[in-house]
Structure 1
Amino acid sequence: MAVQPEGAPCWADAMFGDLEGAKSFYGDVLGWTFGESSSEYGNYTTAYADGKAVAAVVPPMPGQEGDAQWCLYFASRDAAATAARIREAGGEVLMEPMRVGDFGTMCLARDPGGVVFGLWQGGTHEGFEAMAVPGAYCWAEIFAREAQKSDAFFPAVFGYRTKRMEDDAIDFRLFDLDERTVLGRMAMTDEFPPELPPWINVYFTVADCDAAVARATERGGVLRFGPMDSPFGRFAALSDPQGAAFSVIDITTTQGEMPKISDVS
């Protein structure tokens, strides 16, 4: 694939205490195969869909044990410069830009509302080798408790243009790069458990949403929402057996009219 522009989602990975369990679960649910674990890089293991690199799983480093969670990375031409913009916009750099061999440079950060994300300055590894095909990344949404903070932060860092979905039932915004919508933002309401922190929810493409949900729940995953039809596809929100949240979507099965979208001044 072509190198993603600055600010576009370009990679996703997750840390799992039970790496083999994660490989077994996602291999069954999303059809992933896995490359050799790289001991030089903490047993970082790339996942493939039809031979294309689409994500990675990794065991926690000593002292980093915690809840499993997917992390979305945004493309950066200069990770140090992007990290500086993150600080200027009120965010926090959790891990300074770090060179990962010839593969590229990574950085971890948190927005002022508590949303954790990554930066990736590509080297020999440019990011997703496929998107929006079965097993591959398709879409992501920020679930924000302090939506105004995220709304100000992400456009300041990545130059997004903001649009709003005209729906009185939800507070949902869209972030565009040029003419391409690359990210959504959902305001978390009181319906979300208070202990649930803000996060970026990653969607993986599947050929059949209901079949993917059935495989996930049979393997110990938890269905959180759906399956539900939408103009964008039939989707469902899940948690894997280790607690990492993700969604699956069949983009070929659509229903309903597209919502009205307006620019935010």
Structure 2
Amino acid sequence: MLTTRFVDGAPCWIDVTTPDPEGAASFYRALFGWTYRSTGPEGGGYGFLERAGRIVAGCAPLTGAPLTGAQGPAAWTVYFRASDADAAADAVRKARGSVPAPPVSVGEQGRSALLADQMGAAFGVWQPGEREGLESVGEAGGLCWAELYTPDIARAAAFYHAVLGWETSAVTFPGGVYTTVSSRGTAEEGAFGGMVPLADDPVEAEENRPHWLPYIGAEDPDAVAARAAELGGRVRMPPTSIPGVGRLARLEDPHGARFAVLRGDPRET
């Protein structure tokens, strides 16, 4: 599970790149109670989304930002902890991935890079300096899971093992078999995400490209989904219960950034 006791390879940051940071902040404030704190011009327009005074995500203008350097459609990016961002970027190149934004220092906070796997799924790495990562994860209103949709599970597993040291496990549940991922040496107890065959999921296949999807914890996914629609977002997959997993919904904000919400409950039917 995700905790703020971050280890190498585990998710430690997420941010949304958007053409309208203030508008996005308003949407997520109404949805999750997040507040927005801009770093101002000196921070390149980057801002922090906070819940109860703790950072749960970042927010970057679409034209680029210190942490991402990204340009393109509105999107959420998942970052994984790396003890050496430059070494991670080199490992990505050796594994035949790509480095859209090479490692860059963010003041004394840390060092970041935006990368992509062999099949084009974008992700980031964060080498901590003064900032370890997010201040709240694994609870309502914070990042609780990350999922990769890919055309080739075996190939993706080999790539991320080479780059980040991940280990994978096959978990059987009533709907089939699910591939979980965890940091090296943490076994299944350290699972923080999973991999899903892109072609097997009609909701994610509509995007027609490999991608990462962050899950935000929610006490009431049904209410969050209804509120997202009221606020101009889109419900890509309505609230659904999965035995042994919980209740989840997949959403899209008004600018097109995709994410999901989850109330984990093994008793859910």
Normalised by the length of structure 2, the TM-score is: 0.88
Match of residue 173, structure 1, among 174, 179, 202: 179
Q: Give me the whole-angstrom Cα distance separating, in 2, the residues matched to 1:161 and 1:107.
A: 22
1:214, distance to aligned residue in structure 2 (A): 1.2
Report 1:146-185 matches (<5 A): 146-166=152-172, 172-177=178-183, 178-179=186-187, 180-185=190-195
1:245, distance to aligned residue in structure 2 (A): 0.7
Cα distance change, pair 186–212 in 1 and its aligned pair in 2 (3 A) = same
Q: Give me the whole-angstrom Cα distance separating, in 2, the residues matched to 1:195 and 1:152.
A: 24
Q: Give me the whole-angstrom Cα distance separating, in 1, the residues matched to 2:51 and 2:180.
A: 27
Which residue pairs with 2:34 in the alignment?
32
1:18, distance to aligned residue in structure 2 (A): 1.4
Identical aligned residues as a percent: 35
1:169, distance to aligned residue in structure 2 (A): 5.8
Q: Give me the whole-angstrom Cα distance separating, in 1, the residues matched to 2:214 and 2:199.
A: 19
1:196, distance to aligned residue in structure 2 (A): 2.5
SS at match of 1:143: strand
CA contact (8 A) 2:151 2:197 kept: yes
Which residue pairs with 1:53 in the alignment?
55
Q: Give me the whole-angstrom Cα distance separating, in 2, the residues matched to 1:43 and 1:33.
A: 16
1:170, distance to aligned residue in structure 2 (A): 5.6
SS at match of 1:21: helix
1:94, distance to aligned residue in structure 2 (A): 1.4
Which residue pairs with 1:116 in the alignment?
122
Q: Give me the whole-angstrom Cα distance separating, in 2, the residues matched to 1:235 and 1:43.
A: 32
Report 1:1-265 matches (<5 A): 2-61=4-63, 65-166=71-172, 172-177=178-183, 178-179=186-187, 180-189=190-199, 191=202, 193=205, 196-230=208-242, 231-252=244-265, 254-256=267-269
Q: Give me the whole-angstrom Cα distance separating, in 2, the residues matched to 1:161 and 1:52.
A: 30
Q: Give me the whole-angstrom Cα distance separating, in 2, the residues matched to 1:246 and 1:2.
A: 21
RMSD of aligned alpha carbons:
2.1
1:2, distance to aligned residue in structure 2 (A): 4.7
1:134, distance to aligned residue in structure 2 (A): 1.8
SS at match of 2:16: strand
